[in-house]
């Protein structure tokens, strides 16, 4: 399973981005606060329908916008396209999950793209907890 392409519209500070991954390795380079972590979070959001940095879906929508769309194409026999879309409707949010344009429940949607998100804080999983300078 491999993500072949990614399209972002209004995801955090990333307004309109379309990228086609051509090789097995992609390197993100940029100054602080340019959107590298947001880009990685968008892939997690595409795969799970959940943000990483917050519990609120509304916070992934670019400031002063009304919707967010994250769409990707997954390598497979037929090239599966998946999308996670959030739209502000009146005072509430409407979230939709699509597989090849067909609406799915989040439960049925998850698993089309499997991701692992590793943060610097997660290094404790490897090094173990420390109390008073000693490993527990």
The pLDDT tens digits of the residues spanning 60-70 come to: 999 989 999 99
CA distance 100 to 122: 34
Residues 79-120 have pLDDT tens digits of 789 999 999 888 899 999 999 999 999 999 988 999 988 887
Q: Given this model, what pLDDT does residue 105 score?
A: 93
Give the sign of the dihedral formed by CA 24, CA 106, CA 84, CA 116: negative
Q: Given this model, what pLDDT does residue 113 score?
A: 92
Place of tokens 């590793």: 118
Question: Which domains are present in the chain?
Answer: 3-135 (3.40.50.300)
Helix (H, G, I), strand (E, B) or coil at 104: strand
């Amino acid at each position: 399973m491999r993500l072949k392409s990614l399209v972002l519209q209004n995801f955090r500070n990333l307004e309109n981005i379309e990228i086609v991954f051509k090789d097995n390795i992609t390197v993100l380079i940029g100054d602080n606060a340019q959107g590298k972590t947001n880009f990685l979070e968008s892939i997690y959001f595409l795969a799970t329908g959940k943000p990483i940095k917050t519990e609120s879906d509304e916070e992934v929508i670019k400031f002063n916008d009304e919707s967010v769309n994250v769409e990707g194409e997954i390598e497979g026999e037929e090239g599966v396209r998946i999308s996670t879309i959030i739209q502000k409707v009146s005072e509430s949010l409407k979230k939709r999950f699509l597989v090849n344009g067909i609406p799915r429940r989040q439960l049925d949607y998850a698993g089309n793209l499997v991701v692992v998100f590793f943060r610097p804080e997660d290094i404790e999983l490897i090094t173990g907890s420390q109390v008073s300078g000693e490993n527990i």
